[in-house]
């Protein structure tokens, strides 16, 4: 087994309807958490795990903005240099992804996460393992969540996902593992169920937005079979590989923020603001006015 994964897929073609009207013109993944857009946190996490190639599955509107954010802005760089704003220039340059390491493909219909990953198939070599990060799931962790998952993958291979225990009444919102072994940190599963009714859920261990996947998942995504909600579900395709590909869920060390929801987005901004030592006391004082 190749012990290195170098490619990540970011499915970012969604409309972000829960954040309208802000997301009418600004893609959800470009909404800021303090001073960086959501997608940059995801890219930084991937870079920290050794990823070299970044594949964005986009809709009709967001490719240009992503290219502008991650591309080189010579005018801005020159202005910052002239004004001796070296820290700002360094941060801007660190955010860049330059050719040939940035790639785009279009998801022309909202057919589900499995379909979004399938749209990136031409960038993944036959049999190659790759990562998937959903930027909505922002994770505050050191080392990053994907780095923690890489260590599990290098040790055990197969498919690895990030997992959390959820209240049983919420299992119908997630992909749920059918667990065979669980040491409290790494769970081995014999199956997956997408958004099961709480009474029928095989466990309360849910997948959140981090995946390391064996390339054989495309054998099943190619069939374009629909599942829960009439969508092409990534969990269904993963489940069909389990007889041939080991499947593990990692309870990562860190905090996850669901930035697809308004409350989670606000919470993430508060948490990341408090993590900035030069801002912490001021942020705390301002929050006390409202709490």
Strand 247-250 and strand 159-165: the pairing is: parallel
- In 3D space, the residue among 156, 177, 175 whose CA is nearest the CA of residue 234 turns out to be 175
Inter-residue contact 107 to 116 (CB < 8 Å): yes
| Domains present along the chain, CATH in parentheses | 7-281 (3.90.550.10)
The separation between the first and the last C-alpha atoms of the chain, rounded to the nearest angstrom, is 53
Q: What is the model's pLDDT at position 273?
A: 95
Measure Cα distances from 119 to 48, 67, 133, 223 in Å. Answer: 25, 19, 15, 13
Beta strands 102-106; 53-58: pairing state: parallel
**What gap in Å lies between CA 6 and CA 17, rounded to an integer?**
32
| pTM of the predicted structure, to 2 decimals | 0.94
pLDDT at 2: 62
Nearest partner of 194 among 211, 175, 220, 166, judged by Cα: 175
- The residue whose two tokens read 């190749």 is 2
Instruction: For residues 39 and 97, give the distance between their C-alpha atoms in angstroms, rounded to a whole number.
Output: 12
Q: What is the pLDDT along the chain (291 residues), one digit of tens a residue?
A: 567 899 999 999 988 889 999 999 899 999 999 999 999 999 999 999 999 999 999 987 899 999 999 999 999 999 999 999 999 999 999 999 988 999 999 998 889 999 999 999 999 998 899 999 999 999 999 999 999 999 999 999 999 999 999 999 999 989 899 999 999 999 999 988 888 999 999 999 999 999 999 999 999 999 988 887 788 899 899 999 998 999 999 999 999 999 999 999 999 999 999 999 999 999 999 999 998
Query: Could you tell me how many helices (H) and strands (E) the chain has, helices first?
Result: 10, 13
**Distance set, CA 174 to CA 41, 123, 192, 277 (Å):** 23, 27, 10, 35
The token duo for 66 is 């992503």
Instruction: Give the pLDDT confidence score for residue 15 in this predicted structure.
Output: 84
Q: Say if residues 144 and 137 touch (Cβ distance below 8 Å).
A: no
């Amino acid at each position: 087994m190749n012990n290195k994964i170098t490619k990540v897929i970011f499915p970012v073609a969604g409309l972000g309807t829960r954040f309208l009207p802000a997301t009418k013109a600004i893609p959800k993944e470009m909404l800021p958490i303090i001073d960086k857009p959501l997608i940059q946190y995801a890219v930084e996490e991937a870079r920290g795990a050794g990823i070299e190639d970044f594949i964005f599955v986009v809709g009709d509107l967001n490719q240009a903005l992503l290219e502008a954010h991650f591309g080189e802005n010579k005018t801005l760089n020159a202005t910052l240099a002239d004004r001796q704003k070296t820290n700002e220039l360094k941060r801007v340059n660190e955010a860049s992804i330059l050719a040939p390491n940035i790639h785009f493909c279009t998801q022309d219909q909202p057919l589900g996460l499995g379909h979004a990953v399938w749209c990136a198939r031409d960038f993944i070599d036959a049999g190659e393992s790759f990562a998937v990060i959903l930027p909505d799931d922002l994770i505050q962790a050191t080392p990053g969540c994907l780095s923690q998952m890489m260590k599990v993958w290098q040790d055990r291979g197969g498919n690895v996902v990030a997992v959390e225990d959820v209240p049983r009444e919420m299992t119908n919102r997630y992909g749920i593992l059918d667990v065979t072994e669980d040491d409290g940190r790494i769970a081995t599963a014999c199956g997956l169920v997408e958004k099961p009714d709480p009474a029928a859920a095989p466990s309360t261990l849910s997948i959140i937005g981090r995946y390391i996947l064996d390339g054989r998942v495309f054998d099943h995504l190619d069939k374009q079979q629909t599942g829960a909600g009439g969508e092409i579900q990534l969990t269904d395709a993963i489940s069909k590989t389990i007889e041939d590909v080991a499947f593990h869920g990692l309870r990562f060390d860190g905090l996850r923020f669901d930035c697809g929801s308004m409350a989670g987005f606000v919470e993430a901004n508060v948490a990341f603001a408090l993590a900035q030592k030069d801002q912490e006391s001021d942020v705390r004082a301002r929050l006390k006015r409202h709490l």
